[in-house]
Chain A
Amino acid sequence: AQSVTQPDIHITVSEGASLELRCNYSYGATPYLFWYVQSPGQGLQLLLKYFSGDTLVQGIKGFEAEFKRSQSSFNLRKPSVHWSDAAEYFCAVVTYSGGYQKVTFGTGTKLQVIP
């Protein structure tokens, strides 16, 4: 069975500082990997995704993520955080078996940005 772990429940960073949110997955092969962001009172918005190819992927809002097969990780990064980045971030994996799609989300990391 697949699983996703986001070890940090809550992270606080200063505006302008760099950010890294961790995501580890468990699956027998390389799944499709996603990062979503949820602003307060909103639905989930896709930040970026990885399927194959270049292991460093760029997303919206200045975010990037790096897939590391050896570590089963897909960590999200941003060089300089803005106050508007305060939100909850979810990592997700998608796999296919017998034509059926299976989606698993991590438990989320809540980001607080301080002045």
Chain B
Amino acid sequence: EAQVTQNPRYLITVTGKKLTVTCSQNMNHEYMSWYRQDPGLGLRQIYYSMNVEVTDKGDVPEGYKVSRKEKRNFPLILESPSPNQTSLYFCASSPGTGKERNTEAFFGQGTRLTVV
């Protein structure tokens, strides 16, 4: 089954304790991205990756890092989480380029992060 898998689904952590949210897709998609969803603000893009070793900032990248060492994985790293990063996070993937560029993004189930 084609899917995007995020882990964990729920996470409570303390300020300053480094954490990683994993994201994996099994569709051989080139394009992957991370979003955060906050009430009244919709989904805002944090980082995206066009392919392995190619990443770039989205609209709200401060406080986050990503890496794309393999095509299927795109982890989101919070080196020193702060309470303002409490949010619902979504990973997404899509073919992104070439003749399949006009297909939709597939989303993970989301990770609800609370930073206290």
Contacts and interface: CB of A to CB of B under 8 A. Distances in A.
To the question of whether A and B form a pair in one complex, the answer is yes
A34 B45 CA distance: 16
Interface of A is mostly: strand
B94 interface: yes
B31 interface: yes
B40 A101 contact: no
B80 interface: no
A51 interface: yes
Interface in A81-104: 90, 96, 99-101, 103-104
A103 B33 contact: yes
Interface residues of A, number: 23
Tell which of B43, B94, B105 has the most Cβ of chain A within 10 Å.
B43
Contact of A46 (B4, B104, B109, B110): B104
A40 to B, nearest CB: 11
Given A9-B40, A99-B97, A101-B96, A43 B107 contact: yes
Interface of B: 4, 31, 33, 35, 40-45, 48, 50, 56, 90, 92, 94, 96-97, 101-102, 104-105, 107-110
Given A43-B109, A44-B107, A100-B56, 9 more contacts: A43-B107, A43-B108, A43-B110, A44-B92, A46-B105, A99-B50, A103-B48, A103-B105, A107-B40
